[in-house]
Structure 1
Amino acid sequence: MLNSLHPATRLVGWIALIVFVQLARGPLLWGFGLVVVTLGLSFARQRSLRLVRRARFLLIVLVVLFAFFTPGEALVSALGQAGPTREGLMLAASHGVRLLSVLILVALLLETTDERTLVSGLMTLASPLGKFGFPVERLALRVLLVMAYVERPPEGGWRALLDGRADTPSGPGLRVRRQALAVPDRFLIGALLVLIVWGAFR
């Protein structure tokens, strides 16, 4: 079913899920996080674990900052204000679930949609900007290059990119075919955009 959706529709749906996880609170957040983690481990296990591993220091810093620097009731009375607080741990857990959910949603998107299809969807969404002179094709090319380097980093890693020793992908492999939006996709994108705006400003 997912493959039948236009790439632009998939991107807008992904954005809607990101907005939802930022707005969710309490049991809704925990339940959504559990579902996302389960899906990630079931359908994109390797990619999910790789993204979480890369963001592990960010997760650790997030937990420490919220747990130890949020005013509230001390969790360990012997440590007093130097220790973590109950309120801080709750905030750390909530924000940790949000970050973890976003990482796994990224992994699921990349697992189910290849980079050329994603860039095709991005070009469709950005096409109205082309009427104002915005270089949509150039943006698509740069995004595709970044994704190619992220998925298949050159030998030597980021240092090779800075030194100019990495080969730049070129040729027919960088061509992206723009797909026309079908009527159902237009309605679905419109409905998702309304939900995103409503959720962001309610």
Structure 2
Amino acid sequence: MHSGLILLLWLAAVASIQLLPPQALGAAVLVCVALAALLAPRRSWRLVKRVRVLLIAIAALFAWFTPGEALFFDWPRLGPSREGVVLAAVHAARLLAVVCAVGILLERLSLERLVGGLHALARPLRLIGVPPERLALRLLLVLQYVEQSPRGRAGHWKDWLVDETGQQTADPVVLRRERMGGIDVLVAACVFGALLWWSLK
């Protein structure tokens, strides 16, 4: 399967999570967490740890600052509201599902194929003067440098280009381009059309 189609299907799944009603959202989150634990446990757990402060902030802001009926009648001014707790759970669940989906995508799709898929999806931007090659290569450089950045110590960005001998070096950048077949284009058009119809319904 073409990497651009994989990326488009992933984007459609992430967008669908944002459109799901709360009743179906719980099942979708359970599926995403189960798949992440099965396919990309370490990467997904690391991503969840990185957004834990954001999850706590979302829960606190929605639960305590949304007007509504008090959850605890003994402390109506200090406790969260029922409506706020529901909103906090919904938004935190959506973020958790997206983080798990990101972990699965980064684990199962190589960096070169990921950027190549983005290059394929960005080709229509050429019509408005945006070269997809530059966009894809810049994203590839950023992702490579972030992945190889020295953790736990402060440093200048030029340190990424210096090897152990003190000589500046840089690996050649390879942009993997795949040919999109007719079936890939048809599936992509159907996915885009279905998502557009669902969002406008």
TM-score normalised according to structure 2 size? 0.90
Cα 1:157/1:189, change in 2 over 3 Å: farther
Shift of 1:154: 3.0
Q: Which moved more, 1:73-82 or 1:125-134?
A: 125-134
Shift of 1:171: 4.0
Q: Which runs of 5+ in 1 are unaligned?
A: none
Q: Would the aligned equivalents of 1:119 and 1:140 in 2 still touch at CA under 8 Å?
A: yes
SS at match of 2:123: helix
Shift of 1:29: 0.7
Partner of 1:61: 57
Q: How does 1:75-114 map to 2 (within 5 A)?
A: 75-114=71-110
TM-score normalised according to structure 1 size? 0.90
Cα 1:103/1:85, change in 2 over 3 Å: same
How many pairs were matched up?
195
Partner of 1:186: 185
Partner of 1:50: 46
Cα 1:32/1:137, change in 2 over 3 Å: same
Answer yes or no: is 1:165 the counterpart of 2:164: no
Per-residue CA deviation, residues 141-190 of structure 1 (Å, 9 max, x unaligned), is 110112113333235667433xx433287443x11121110111111100
Answer yes or no: is 1:118 the counterpart of 2:114: yes
C-alpha distance in 1 between matches for 2:102 and 2:22? 23
Q: Give the partner amino acid of 1:165.
A: D
Per-residue CA deviation, residues 102-153 of structure 1 (Å, 9 max, x unaligned), is 0010011111101100111111111222244322211111101121133332
C-alpha distance in 2 between matches for 1:75 and 1:131? 54
Give the % identical residues.
40
C-alpha distance in 1 between matches for 2:200 and 2:105? 26
Cα 1:46/1:155, change in 2 over 3 Å: closer
Question: Pairwise CA RMSD of aligned residues?
Answer: 1.8
Q: Would the aligned equivalents of 2:2 and 2:117 in 1 still touch at CA under 8 Å?
A: yes
Cα 1:45/1:155, change in 2 over 3 Å: closer
Per-residue CA deviation, residues 48-79 of structure 1 (Å, 9 max, x unaligned), is 00001000110000000010011111111222
Q: Which moved more, 1:121-130 or 1:95-104?
A: 121-130
Q: Would the aligned equivalents of 1:74 and 1:84 in 2 still touch at CA under 8 Å?
A: yes
SS at match of 2:24: helix
Q: Which structure shows the bigger proportion of residues in helix conformation?
A: 1
Shift of 1:96: 0.7
C-alpha distance in 1 between matches for 2:159 and 2:56? 34
Q: Give the partner amino acid of 1:113.
A: L
